[in-house]
């Protein structure tokens, strides 16, 4: 499972906790691993909704997303005793969620893989020299009901690799490097996937506005 470390039986030195900050995700996870149940509640409250949205937009089913969300947090509980700070907690958490999603797909369709670009998607083979626009992540709550539906439909219609990269950034706030590490591709490939995802989402909202005109 992504990010699972070796056994760590005792609380890390206080200087490490102080450097991370007592309320950082990483410090909270270490506190939970050492018996502080309230730390887990805080982590869950912080990340439950974004992880659920990541799973929902990836899986396309509320029931499946809820099941995978439960499996993800159960895995966090199971692996608490072996947790080590090797990356941001959110990277570790979304790595687990992604693994649960892939395990589900592989159980139903063994040929499915998010680690390889879609062979029939020309966007994945073209090279553009543009920066990924991290700022273009519209807050769905600020959109009208019709706009929000068009936006979410467009997210779900993205090619899997592009959708995954977009959601990991939009919901998980992961960096290009973190997304690349989780998905097994280079930084430039992540940037390319984000560019094309954002372009398609812009076009989807443009089409919606055109339809209303």
Q: What is the pLDDT of residues 46-64, one digit of tens each?
A: 999 999 999 999 988 899 9
Residue ending a domain, choose from 50, 82, 112: 112
Whichever domain contains 78, its CATH number is 1.10.1740.10
Tens digit of pLDDT for each residue in 77-87? 999 999 999 98
Reading the block at residue 81, the tokens are: 């005793």
Number of compact structural domains in the chain: 2
User: Residue 105 has what pLDDT?
Assistant: 84
Minimum mean pLDDT among 10-19, 65-74, 140-149, 176-185: which range?
Answer: 10-19
Residue ending a domain, choose from 83, 112, 141: 112
Q: Please check whether residues 103 and 147 belong to one and the same domain.
A: no
Higher pLDDT, 190 or 22: 190
- Residue 174: which residues within 8 A CB-CB, separation 6 or more? 90, 91, 94, 168, 182
Higher pLDDT, 140 or 146: 146
User: Residue 28 has what pLDDT?
Assistant: 93
Q: Please check whether residues 60 and 12 belong to one and the same domain.
A: yes
**Do residues 183 and 133 touch, judged by C-beta distance below 8 A?**
no
Model confidence at 97, in pLDDT bands (50, 70, 90)? very high
pTM of the model: 0.73
Tens digit of pLDDT for each residue in 101-127? 999 888 876 544 544 443 334 343 332
Q: Please check whether residues 168 and 208 belong to one and the same domain.
A: yes
Nearest to 79 by CA among 93, 90, 67: 93
Whichever domain contains 126, its CATH number is 1.10.10.10
Containing structural domain, residue 96: 1-112
User: Residue 185 has what pLDDT?
Assistant: 95
Q: Please check whether residues 94 and 125 belong to one and the same domain.
A: no
For the chain, give the mean pLDDT: 78
């Amino acid at each position: 499972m992504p990010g699972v470390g070796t056994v760590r039986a005792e609380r890390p030195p206080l200087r490490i906790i102080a450097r991370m900050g007592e309320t950082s995700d990483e410090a909270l996870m270490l506190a939970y691993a050492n018996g502080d149940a309230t730390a887990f509640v805080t982590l869950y409250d912080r990340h439950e909704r974004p992880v659920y949205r990541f799973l929902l937009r990836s899986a396309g089913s509320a029931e499946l997303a809820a099941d995978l969300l439960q499996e993800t947090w159960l895995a966090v509980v199971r692996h608490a005793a072996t947790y080590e700070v090797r990356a941001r907690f959110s990277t570790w958490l979304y790595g687990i969620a992604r693994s649960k999603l892939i395990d589900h797909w592989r159980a139903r369709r063994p040929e499915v893989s998010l680690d390889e670009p879609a062979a029939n998607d020309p966007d994945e083979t073209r090279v553009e020299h543009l920066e990924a626009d991290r700022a273009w992540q519209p807050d769905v709550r600020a959109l009208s009901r019709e706009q929000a539906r068009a936006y979410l439909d467009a997210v779900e219609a993205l090619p899997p690799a592009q959708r995954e990269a977009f959601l990991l950034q939009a919901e998980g706030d992961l960096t290009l490097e973190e997304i690349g590490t989780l998905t097994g591709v280079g930084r430039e490939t992540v940037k390319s996937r984000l560019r094309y995802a954002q372009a398609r989402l812009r076009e989807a909202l443009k089409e919606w506005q055109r339809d209303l005109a």
